[in-house]
Amino acid sequence: MRRQRIKKRPICVLVGTCTVFAGICSSEIAAIAVDPAGGPTPPVAADSAPERPKATAFGVKKVADLRFCGTDDDDLGSAGRCDVYLPQPKTPSQQASGAAPDRRWPVVLVVHGGGWATGDKWTMERHARDLAGNGFAAVAINYRHAPNSKFPDQVDDVRSALVWITENAPTYHWDTERVGLYGYSAGGHLVSLVATLADEPWQSVRQTTSWPQQDERWNKLPSIGAVCIGGPPTDFRQLPPDNTSLAFFLGGSRRELPNVYTAASPICFTSPKDPPFQIIHGEADWIVPINNAKNFHQALVDADVESSLHTLPGNGHLFAFLSPKLTDWMLKFFDEQLTK
């Protein structure tokens, strides 16, 4: 698939986002870097750029600020809204194919970072446009922020967006059998948790949702075909017991709420039925240290889940997000997993 790199990339706000994340989480998330197993990790791809698949790039149509959950009367601000990026056929052959009544596009839900307390869907516009320009519909969302909304509100918002994708698939010609998740930083954490919990029993799921067990929305969640995450926090169990720096998100210290810290850790729910994962992490990331990625990758491999880990030497949290390699790996991964 020959990839079109979209020129419009409004990402300056990510500097502020990462600064907030650093101020909130840096010393605390550093504790997550401890490898509790102390064992070896699988090989890591660090240098090679992916080969570009063969295809012609598409045009992109953006539909902004659609509501995927809540109502206009809710005091949610921009939370619960999404931007939709749709591939637009450009060549005559694409137009003929795109006009076919049975044409369905794979779709990727895109979730921003910002330490669960800040950030916005438009910071992911570069990647969402790259996805749509290469034949994937993309839905970039705003979710509720801490501290006004605490865990698991953000997780339920990701689920609500997936339900919205299912409900609107006929309108936008989406293929709900080919749904992917992409998130960076806190967004990577949220999509990882949703994906790993999808096949878990209610006993595990109930602490990560405010939805009742019999809620009809559970039946509208599509099966996840692939998950790509960058710079994700994945294990909160290693934080000091009395540290309260994540109380703004998790509601208290680990000593006060040990079950919540476990429930919020994607590494605790890896299992053989999880979808394929691709993890991308900067080797110089001091905001979310790289052992988060390595340990999560190891847990997925140990559970017989298809998982790959790519690292970016010399890249910190922000520059890994901006790296062209991250974009190439992300696009290649979804091409391999969602266009089979």
Query: Does residue 190 have a pLDDT over 80?
Result: yes
Tokens describing residue 35: 């490898």
In a domain, 270, yes or no: yes
Q: Is position 175 within any domain? A: yes
* Predicted pLDDT at 72: 72
Q: Is the distance from CB of 14 to CB of 123 less than 8 angstroms?
A: yes
256-277: per-residue pLDDT in tens?
999 999 999 999 999 999 999 9
| 5 in any annotated domain | no
Q: What is the CATH number of the domain that holds 109?
A: 3.40.50.1820
> Could you report the per-residue pLDDT of 124-181, keeping only the tens digit for each?
999 999 999 999 999 999 999 999 999 999 999 999 999 999 999 999 999 999 999 9
pLDDT confidence of residue 33: 36
How far, in whole angstroms, is CA 224 from its chain's centroid? 12
Residue 213 in any domain: the answer is: yes
How far CA 217 is from CA of 156, 159, 178, 194, 195, in Å, comes to 11, 9, 19, 14, 16
pLDDT tens track for 280-323 = 999 999 999 999 999 999 999 999 999 999 999 999 999 999 99
Split into its structural domains, the chain has a count of 1
The answer to the question of residue 3 being in a domain is no
Sheet harboring 59-67: ordered strands across? 59-67, 81-88, 137-141, 105-111, 174-184, 224-230, 277-282, 307-312
pLDDT digit string (tens) for 42-58?
444 544 555 544 444 89
In a domain? residue 292: yes
pLDDT category, 73, cuts 50, 70, 90?
low
* Side-chain half-sphere CA neighbours of 308 within 13 A: 17
pTM (2 decimals)? 0.86
Domain for residue 212, yes or no? Answer: yes
Residue 232 lies in a domain: yes
CB distance 150 to 195 below 8 Å: no
Q: List pLDDT tens digits, range 220-265.
A: 999 999 999 999 999 999 999 999 999 999 999 999 999 999 999 9
Domain enclosing residue 160, as ranges? 13-338
177 with 91: CB under 8 angstroms? no
**pLDDT value, residue 236:** 98
For residues 39 and 124, which has the higher predicted lDDT (pLDDT)?
124
User: Which range in 25-29, 71-75, 199-203 is most confidently predicted, on average pLDDT?
Assistant: 199-203
